[in-house]
Amino acid sequence: MPVVDGTTDVQRWVRGWRLRLLDAGLLVYPGVTLAGVLQHSAGAAAVAGCLLVAAFAVTYLLATTVARPATRPFWLLVGGCAVLFALAVPFAHADAFFLAAVVLSLAVPRLPRRVAFLLVAAAALAAVLGPWPGGPGWTQAVALVFTVLMVSAFAEAIRANTALVEARAEVARLASEAERTRIARDLHDLLGHSLTAITVKSTLARRLVTAEAARAGEEMAAVETLARQALTDVRAAVSGYRDVTLAGELARGRELLRACGVAADLPTAVDVVGPAHQELFGWVVREGLTNVARHARATRCAVTLSASTVEIVDDGVGGAASGGSGLDGLRERVAAAGGCLSAGPSNPRGWRLRVTV
């Protein structure tokens, strides 16, 4: 589910009709308390008790409007509700504890669990053990406990939904970063080979332009072909489609090494490698031969294939290709395929790149 949809769902919980319905539902308790005032008080006392209950209801509604997030004004209003509850006890007796249920429903979801438990337990015991004219307030105590539990469960559901949306947003961010990393890796792998070949062939054509004009023209035609292929590769990388084959990379590598003046000993057939590994080995050949052309200053380069291994060895200076984003990207590809990559000096000189799946 998209993050936007999840955010909308949470907004429905946090600011939607469900929460407003719960807020309005708790107004039933001031109504019940008002009936208790009229039952237990008369005359001026009844009027005073009704005014206290009305003031409680107004204060409670104000508290719900500033409850998210719970800031200082919210806690001041909760404190005002608690004071009005205490003042209403002489007029409503045990029925005043319906107001305590409302106060605790506001405060408990935002308090440490131990403190919340002590407050609920104390209020329930006071309702049961108080010397009320009608006897222990069991009904009020049960209503208080279950109301607080229900509101706390609802608040926990809101927190869980909020955490879920945050987790979805984090997943989306990581997926976006992974996609950017993939595109960067693919662009390096795809363009590194083509641009290296273009550079080598352009240099060769410049040297031949006066001495061997016909061959210089051939090299520049090859540069044009490589440039067009590089453009195609970029489009393929951006779209997520990678058309890399082992046979194609060996053919390109043979041409690249020839242009660099490196004697190439490359396989002419790739049947020994299974279809499942052909693309991966193609990436290995592309990266390895590109590094030979760029860094090795070699005179010979050999590629060896088997059903589970591809190895590239040159007799150059070695070491220059041991790091960089190209080899790091190749390690990621190999690791994703369940293989292992090793790269290091080759005796007596040169460099060896070996991938085993």
Grouping H, G, I as helix, E, B as strand and the rest as coil, residue 318 is: coil
Fold assignment, 262-357: Heat Shock Protein 90 (3.30.565)
At 120-152, the pLDDT tens digits run 999 999 999 988 888 888 999 999 999 999 888
Domain segments of the chain as ranges: 3-170, 262-357
If you compute the radius of gyration of the chain from its CA atoms, what whole number of angstroms results? 39
Task: State how far the Cα of 196 lies from the Cα of 194, in Å rounded to an integer.
Answer: 5
Let me know the angle formed at the C-alpha of 19 by 18 and 25, rounded to the nearest 5 degrees: 90
Which residue type does 302 have?
A
At 50-94, the pLDDT tens digits run 999 999 999 999 998 887 777 889 999 999 999 999 999 999 999
Q: What is the pTM of this model?
A: 0.49
Task: State how far the Cα of 67 lies from the Cα of 19, in Å rounded to an integer.
Answer: 11
- Strand pairing class (340-345; 309-314): unpaired
At 255-280, the pLDDT tens digits run 888 878 889 999 988 889 988 899 89
Task: State how far the Cα of 125 lies from the Cα of 214, in Å rounded to an integer.
Answer: 104
111 CB contacts (<8 Å, ≥6 apart)?
A: 119
**Residue 13, pLDDT above cutoff 50:** no
Find, among 252, 354, 257, the residue nearest to 296 by Cα.
257
